[in-house]
Amino acid sequence: MVDYPLAESETDLNSKQKRYCSRDFPPYRYVPGMHPHPTNSPEGHSYGAEDEENAKWNSDLWRDNEDYLFGIDLYNYHYYWEAHEAWEGLWIGAVRNSSEHRFLQGLIKCGAALLKVRMANYQIQDLIGARNLSKSGMSLLSQVGQDDFMGLNIPDYLENYNEFINPINEDTIPEVNRKCPRIELIF
């Protein structure tokens, strides 16, 4: 019997956001210390899944990039660890220090900071990690070199993200709910 929160029980996090692809979500949003590790634990939601190759890709074709779009969906539905996994292959396949590389690393770090915020409800010291990750993620996104990149208006996103995350600098834990910053793509 599973005794950890499944995604279906987290009704406030299951808000009806626009979806960008049709892949199914995992049964739980991985939170370290609360859930089985998705790939390392036999009870993990992605245990035994094959690792995909890290092929080169073209950011101009982002509208058709299922891994990118699935990562956006995962992020918007608070699957922050899983979004990182969806984007990691793209990040590895990107030219180091390119706009694509900085952009994906920035999104990954911003999502990781939100996961740390969620974890801070259980261990307050996770706010330190959230501070470092959010600052680094926002810095990377601001270095992409374009305001609109891969469908995202970066200045608008950064403004919303900063407004949400800023209370952690005063040791206040913002509630991870449907008011969390979302990635809204412009097609």
The full 3-state SS of the chain, as one line of letters, equals: CCCCCCHHHCHHHCCCCCCCCCCCCCCCCCCCCCCCCCCCCCCCCCCCCCCCCCCCCCHHHHHHCHHHHHHHHHHHCCCHHHHHHHHHHHHHHCCCCCHHHHHHHHHHHHHHHHHHHHHHCCCCCHHHHHHHHHHHHHHHHHCCCCCEECCEEHHHHHHHHHHHHHHHHHCCCCCCCCCCCCCCCCC
User: pLDDT tens for residues 27-85?
Assistant: 999 999 889 999 999 998 998 888 777 778 999 999 999 999 999 999 999 999 999 99
Domains and CATH numbers, the chain: 56-170 (1.10.3450.10)
Q: What does the pLDDT read at residue 20?
A: 97
Phi, psi of 32 (to 5 degrees): -55, 135
User: pLDDT tens for residues 13-23?
Assistant: 888 888 999 99
Looking at the predicted structure, is the pLDDT value of residue 153 above 50? Answer: yes
Looking at the predicted structure, is the pLDDT value of residue 1 above 50? Answer: no
Q: What is the percent of the chain with per-residue pLDDT over 90, rounded to a whole number? A: 76
User: pLDDT tens for residues 115-132?
Assistant: 999 999 888 888 999 999
Q: Which of 79, 96, 101 is nearest to 180 (CA)?
A: 79
Highest mean pLDDT among 6-15, 74-83, 175-184: 74-83
Q: In the predicted model, what is the mean pLDDT of residues 98-106?
A: 97
Q: In the predicted model, what is the mean pLDDT of residues 164-176?
A: 94
Q: What does the pLDDT read at residue 2?
A: 61
Instruction: Estimate to the nearest angstrom the gap between the alpha carbon of 126 and the chain centroid.
Output: 17
Looking at the predicted structure, is the pLDDT value of residue 137 above 50? Answer: yes
* 173 contacts 121 by C-beta, under 8 angstroms: yes
